[in-house]
């Protein structure tokens, strides 16, 4: 028995050494980076998390372009605006693919399929085939004469010419097929981008209208604790004398996250489903919980382990199994909404995004290349809910936190709002042009909070170079967006909250090319315009009505973040004072 154990250990050690040597040979094709270990790559060095501080440390060692190994997968990381610009903008065509990680593949139900492709004949096999056919055609024995020998030579020469011609035709057909596949891929990307842009345009006006309503609803809910205090105090006055300590404990402060996420989620639900949910609705609250769990799971150690060892993790219990339960709930909720829409749907009178999508399905039903179908519709709606709810909510939470930290900036914003806007004026996104300081503050909130510090991974679709480093087709490229919005070469005080980053000497708003919190190039966030609009309208409306203050007895703000797929602030409470 001991001999078997020793042999097994020796075999494992040999395999690990062989894999280590293979990794050292393979990594020579990629930009420099830390030495990967067998099986886990550099996951140990990253603490199994894409922590922006860890990426900064590696930048200081290996430069603005380096390679880290996520398990057995090499990932090229771009750091600093110069590298990001060259990779995402200058070479946006080449680095435009979207890798489907094992986690997302299983999340979307795209299981691996065993497809048997018929192997095409290689040039050598084609030659053998032609020669065989020639031999079969000339199977009759020929007399051993000069004429016969010449005939054989001529036949072989003709066969050789025929083989070369067929080889050239095969090469041409192969190149044409590759070109057609590339054109088809590019057309699919353009079609998908155009489809989402059409949806974005169709729903833009409805979003603005709904955001105004949800802001008003949120304002009422935020003011409710103050109304409850007043009512409770009136009741308590009958029992306790004025000034009793009992009044100090009656709901003076609250966590704004719940109010904000309900408002933001209901904006999306109204545009997509055509109706809003009550904050007490069980399905609505479970939907919000599902969105939160799915979004933040991917950045946990469980998410990293799933991508590194999908088959192994798929058969283990853990929170990753709960993600799939929540995803099924979201899909079923959307399917139920689609079912109810189909019962009352009128093609000439669409009311929301599902109606528009159903109209597109009907319009393109005879087009075999169309991507409009019910499965894609369910996934599109789920993507909108996942991508638009928690991101805007977290950014607004950061916005209010910064206003608590910098009350002088809050006051200056309110003065600009009072000066420029009429008291009863409805806020529109175009109003930002008349509010340069407010617009600068919002941009600085996006820059400093930088909630998606590491952008979505991309895949190189053809061989290229980034700042002189070769990037092979199929390689995953990871944009470190944090390194651009905190790049000291482009920001005067990168680590300080400073709205002057977006103002010129005359107080006019100016943009900065290194401001790319929504990424850049072909894979720029398609919801960027929606997010900007939501953030502006919610932020302006809230500061018009309230002044936000720290709760009594709290003297400092925690501006550290909680690491996740979205960098969120630590839970906090605030006190609102109606203006």
pLDDT tier at 205, thresholds 50, 70, 90: low
Tell me which fold the domain 182-578 belongs to: Cytochrome p450 (1.10.630)
pLDDT tier at 408, thresholds 50, 70, 90: very high
* Measured distance CA(283)–CA(279) in Å, rounded: 10
Does 256 have pLDDT greater than 70? yes
DSSP string, 427-485: P-GGGGGG-HHHHHHHHHHHHHH-S-SSPPPEE-SS-EEETTEEE-TT-EEEE-THHHH
pLDDT tier at 539, thresholds 50, 70, 90: very high
Asked whether residue 525 is marked as a ligand-binding residue, the answer is yes
Strand partners, 339: none
Does 128 have pLDDT greater than 70? no
Helix (H) / strand (E) element for 103: namely helix 102-107
Rounded to an integer, the average pLDDT of 159-186 is: 55
Top-confidence residue, 189 or 487: 487
CA–CA distance from 316 to each of 8, 122, 173, 293, 542 (Å)?
A: 25, 43, 47, 18, 46
* Measured distance CA(208)–CA(431) in Å, rounded: 13
pLDDT tier at 344, thresholds 50, 70, 90: confident
Does 433 have pLDDT greater than 90? yes
Can you say whether the dihedral through the CA atoms of 187, 377, 273, 527 is positive or negative?
negative
Which tens digits make up the pLDDT trace of 19-77? 777 777 777 888 998 888 887 777 777 766 677 778 888 998 999 999 998 878 889 99
Question: Where do the domains of the chain lie?
Answer: 2-107, 182-578
pLDDT tier at 317, thresholds 50, 70, 90: confident
């Amino acid at each position: 028995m001991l001999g078997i154990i020793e042999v097994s250990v020796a075999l494992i050690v040999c395999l690990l050494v062989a894999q280590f040597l293979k990794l050292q040979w393979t990594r020579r094709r990629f930009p420099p980076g830390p030495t990967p270990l067998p099986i886990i790559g550099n996951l140990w060095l990253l603490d199994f998390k894409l922590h922006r501080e860890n990426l900064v440390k590696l930048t200081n060692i290996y430069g603005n372009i380096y390679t880290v190994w996520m398990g057995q997968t090499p990932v090229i990381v771009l750091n600093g605006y110069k590298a990001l610009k060259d990779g995402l903008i200058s070479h946006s065509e080449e680095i435009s693919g979207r890798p489907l990680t094992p986690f997302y593949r299983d999340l979307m139900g795209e299981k691996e399929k065993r497809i048997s492709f018929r192997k095409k004949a290689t040039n050598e096999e084609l030659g053998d085939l032609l020669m065989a056919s020639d031999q079969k055609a000339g199977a009759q024995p020929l007399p051993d004469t000069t004429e016969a020998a010449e005939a054989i030579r001529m036949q072989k020469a003709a066969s050789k010419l025929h083989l070369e011609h067929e080889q050239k035709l095969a090469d041409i057909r192969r190149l044409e097929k590759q070109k057609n596949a590339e054109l088809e891929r590019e057309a699919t990307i353009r079609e998908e981008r155009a489809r989402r842009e059409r949806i974005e345009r169709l729903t833009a006006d409805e979003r603005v209208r709904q955001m105004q309503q949800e802001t008003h609803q949120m304002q009422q809910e935020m003011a409710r604790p103050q109304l409850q205090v007043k009512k409770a105090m009136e009741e308590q006055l009958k029992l306790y004398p004025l000034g009793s300590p009992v009044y100090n404990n009656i709901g003076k402060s609250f966590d704004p996250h719940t109010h904000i996420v309900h408002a933001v989620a209901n904006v999306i639900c109204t545009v997509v489903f055509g109706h809003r949910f009550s904050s007490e609705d069980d399905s609505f609250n479970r939907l919000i919980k599902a969105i939160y769990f799915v979004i933040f799971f991917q950045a946990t150690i469980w998410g990293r382990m799933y991508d590194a060892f999908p088959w192994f993790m798929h058969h283990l219990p853990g929170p990753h199994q709960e993600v799939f339960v929540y995803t099924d709930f979201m899909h079923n909720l959307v399917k139920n909404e689609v079912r109810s829409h189909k019962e009352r749907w009128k093609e000439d009178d669409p009311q929301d995004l599902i109606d528009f999508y159903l109209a597109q399905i009907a319009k393109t039903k005879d087009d075999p290349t169309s991507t409009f179908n019910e499965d894609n519709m369910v996934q599109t709606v789920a993507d909108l809910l996942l991508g638009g709810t928690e991101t805007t909510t977290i950014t607004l939470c950061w916005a209010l936190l910064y206003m608590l930290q910098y009350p002088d900036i809050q006051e200056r914003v309110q003065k600009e709002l009072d000066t420029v806007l009429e008291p009863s004026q409805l806020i529109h996104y175009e109003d930002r042009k008349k509010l340069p300081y407010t617009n600068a503050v919002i941009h600085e909130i996006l820059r400093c909070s930088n909630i998606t510090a590491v952008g979505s991974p991309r895949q190189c679709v053809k061989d290229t170079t980034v700042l002189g480093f070769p990037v092979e087709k199929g390689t995953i490229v990871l944009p470190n967006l944090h390194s651009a919005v905190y790049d000291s070469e482009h920001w005067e005080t990168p680590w300080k909250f400073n709205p002057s980053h977006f103002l010129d000497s005359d107080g006019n708003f100016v943009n900065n090319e290194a401001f790319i919190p929504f990424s850049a190039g072909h894979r720029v966030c398609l919801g960027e315009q929606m997010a900007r609009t939501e953030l502006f309208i919610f932020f302006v409306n809230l500061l018009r009505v309230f002044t936000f203050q720290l709760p009594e007895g709290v003297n400092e703000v925690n501006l550290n973040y909680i690491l996740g797929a979205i960098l969120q602030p630590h839970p906090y409470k605030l006190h609102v004072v109606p203006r």
